[in-house]
């Protein structure tokens, strides 16, 4: 997951779907991953432990394992796992039946680095545009909030602020930004991990997240600069 923002009446999610990673899982890993999402159930529908016996039984069904591998790397199944529990919870509270969300999710492919950064900027700034927060790090239920909190826990927020000038250099040039030892790692929320340009992307993210030098943002202007495709619902990559 590269980014997310949950608002009052909709949400945005930016995901990386990687066929090569999914295809590299062993059959046993596929079964165990599925078991964490959908554990076996007892007679009263209570979740049971994923045992070695259960895993061995599932591994005998080769066709099921391959279909499960596909589902674990499917945007549609991700959204099903995200939306269905919310609908069940809301229906219990309201004592009703039916779908919780008005329509099926919308997904747009993000094809290059520029589109990725533009989309992430829109997702992170969405609560500000909606008037729900004054700064990105003060927003609730967003990936930028999670990144800032993680930096504070790790004690690396000062490092990010110190990298502010480097982020400006990276943001204004196609050249690789100077190296900066000790830059914090945000873990699972980074858009990409490893490879050429990773550090530069981290610096750009720190600038986008508003962790460094504070700027006054004109939200209508900022939104106007974004391509129309970046403003349409859930983003899948």
Predicted confidence (pLDDT) per residue in 82-116, tens digit: 889 989 999 999 999 988 888 888 898 998 889 99
Percent of the chain residues past pLDDT 90, beyond the cut: 35
Same domain, 165 and 223: yes
Question: 87 in a domain, yes or no?
Answer: no
Same domain, 224 and 114: yes
Tens-digit pLDDT profile for residues 178-200: 444 444 444 444 433 333 444 44
pLDDT of 225 over the 80 cut: no
pLDDT of 213 over the 60 cut: no
**3 sits in which H/E element:** strand 3-6
Question: 80 in a domain, yes or no?
Answer: no
Tell me what pLDDT residue 54 has: 96
Same domain, 112 and 225: yes
Question: 205 in a domain, yes or no?
Answer: yes
pLDDT of 76 over the 50 cut: yes
Q: Tell which wins on pLDDT, 203 or 163.
A: 163
Same domain, 205 and 128: yes
Which of 73, 95, 119 terminates a domain? The answer is 73
Same domain, 62 and 112: no
Same domain, 49 and 151: no
Tell me what pLDDT residue 164 has: 59
Question: 236 in a domain, yes or no?
Answer: no
Structurally, the chain folds into a number of domains equal to: 2
Q: What would you report as the CA-atom Rg of the chain, rounded to the nearest whole angstrom?
A: 20
Same domain, 188 and 133: yes
Same domain, 115 and 218: yes
Question: 182 in a domain, yes or no?
Answer: yes
Tell me what pLDDT residue 226 has: 40
Same domain, 62 and 120: no
Tell me what pLDDT residue 166 has: 59
Same domain, 200 and 147: yes
CB atoms within 10 A of CB 174: 6
Which of 53, 73, 93 terminates a domain? The answer is 73
Taking the alpha carbons at both ends of the chain, their separation in whole angstroms is 9
Token duo for residue 123: 């997702």
Question: 86-93 — which CB contacts under 8 Å span 24+ positions?
Answer: none
What does pTM read for this prediction? 0.65
Tell me what pLDDT residue 51 has: 95
Same domain, 65 and 113: no
Question: 208 in a domain, yes or no?
Answer: yes
pLDDT of 153 over the 70 cut: yes
Ranked by mean pLDDT, the top range of 74-78, 154-158, 166-170, 217-221 is 74-78
The label of the residue with tokens 């990105």 reads 136
Same domain, 31 and 113: no
Question: 160 in a domain, yes or no?
Answer: yes
Q: Which domain holds residue 187?
A: 3-14+106-231
């Amino acid at each position: 997951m590269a980014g997310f923002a949950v608002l009052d009446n909709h949400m945005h999610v930016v995901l990386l779907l990687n066929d090569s990673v999914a295809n590299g899982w062993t059959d046993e890993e596929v079964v165990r991953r599925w078991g964490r999402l959908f554990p076996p159930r007892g007679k009263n529908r209570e979740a049971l432990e994923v045992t070695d016996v259960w895993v061995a039984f599932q591994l005998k069904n080769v066709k099921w394992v391959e279909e499960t591998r596909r589902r674990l790397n499917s945007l549609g199944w991700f959204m099903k796992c995200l939306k269905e529990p919310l609908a069940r919870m809301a229906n219990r509270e309201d004592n009703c039946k039916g779908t919780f969300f008005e329509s099926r999710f919308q997904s747009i492919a993000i094809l290059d680095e520029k589109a990725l950064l533009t989309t992430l900027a829109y997702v992170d700034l969405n609560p500000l545009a909606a008037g729900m927060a004054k700064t990105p790090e003060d927003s609730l239920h967003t990936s930028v909030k999670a990144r800032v909190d993680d930096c504070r826990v790790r004690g690396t927020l000062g490092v990010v602020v110190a990298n502010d000038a480097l982020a400006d250099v990276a943001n204004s040039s196609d050249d690789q930004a100077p190296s900066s030892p000790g830059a914090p790692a945000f873990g699972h929320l980074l858009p990409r991990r490893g490879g050429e340009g990773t550090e530069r992307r981290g610096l750009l993210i720190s600038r986008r997240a508003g962790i460094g030098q504070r700027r006054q943002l004109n939200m209508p202007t900022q939104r106007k600069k974004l391509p129309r495709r970046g403003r349409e619902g859930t983003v899948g990559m």
